[in-house]
């Protein structure tokens, strides 16, 4: 498994754990990493993705809600919701990541951490969102 995928998976887990912190509390990233060991470069990548998602969360969630059919954000499984958040962040806010890579990584991560139906669901949501992109699917930007 690539270090970048490990970083994405760790970011999904970090976001998932954040879901259990009351909205008035601060999420303790160091405490998370006391329980989840990660090599320094993987932790660094996971924290970058996590911070990026959190800093763009309102915009990401608006995009996600717009792409959901007959679902609310709260109704999504926590794992699927956070996998989608990471993918949407990379698709729309990380020019160095080709959108198709973000989509494929999300599908693979959902196969590992989600339900048997998660990968199809994640693929469908991201397929709807890729039409909103203003850059090529298969190219990284600058």
Domains of the chain by residue range: 3-130
Q: In this structure, what token pair is assigned to residue 15?
A: 């976001």
C-beta separation of 114 from 102 below 8 A: no
C-beta separation of 43 from 140 below 8 A: no
Place of tokens 């007959």: 70
Q: Which helix (H) or strand (E) holds 15?
A: helix 3-18
Place of tokens 């989840």: 36
Does the pTM surpass 0.85? The reply is: yes
**Homologous superfamily assigned to 3-130:** NusB-like (1.10.940.10)
The DSSP string of 26-94 is: PP-HHHHHHHS---HHHHHHHHHHHHHHHHTHHHHHHHHHHH-SS--GGGS-HHHHHHHHHHHHHHHH-
The reported pLDDT for the residue numbered 26 is 61
Residue whose C-alpha is closest to residue 4's, from 111, 122, 104, 117: 104
The reported pLDDT for the residue numbered 25 is 57
CA distance 139 to 100: 8
The reported pLDDT for the residue numbered 30 is 86
CA distance 77 to 90: 20
The reported pLDDT for the residue numbered 140 is 84
Per-10-residue mean pLDDT of the chain, 142 residues long, equals 92 92 69 88 95 96 92 91 98 96 98 96 96 90 69
C-beta separation of 4 from 45 below 8 A: yes
């Amino acid at each position: 498994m690539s270090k970048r995928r490990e970083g994405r998976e760790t970011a999904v887990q970090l976001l998932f754990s954040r879901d259990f912190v009351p909205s008035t509390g601060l999420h303790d990233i160091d405490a998370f990493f006391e329980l989840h060991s990660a090599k320094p470069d993987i932790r660094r990548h996971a924290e970058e993705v996590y911070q990026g998602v959190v800093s763009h969360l309102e915009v990401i969630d608006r995009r996600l809600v717009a792409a959901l059919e007959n679902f609310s954000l709260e109704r999504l499984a926590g794992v699927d919701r956070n996998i989608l958040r990471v993918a949407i962040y990379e698709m729309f806010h990380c020019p160095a990541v080709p959108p198709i890579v973000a989509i494929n990584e999300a599908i693979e991560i959902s196969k590992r951490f989600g339900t048997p139906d998660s990968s199809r669901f994640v693929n469908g949501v991201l397929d709807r969102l890729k039409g909103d992109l203003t850059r090529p699917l298969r190219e990284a930007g600058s």
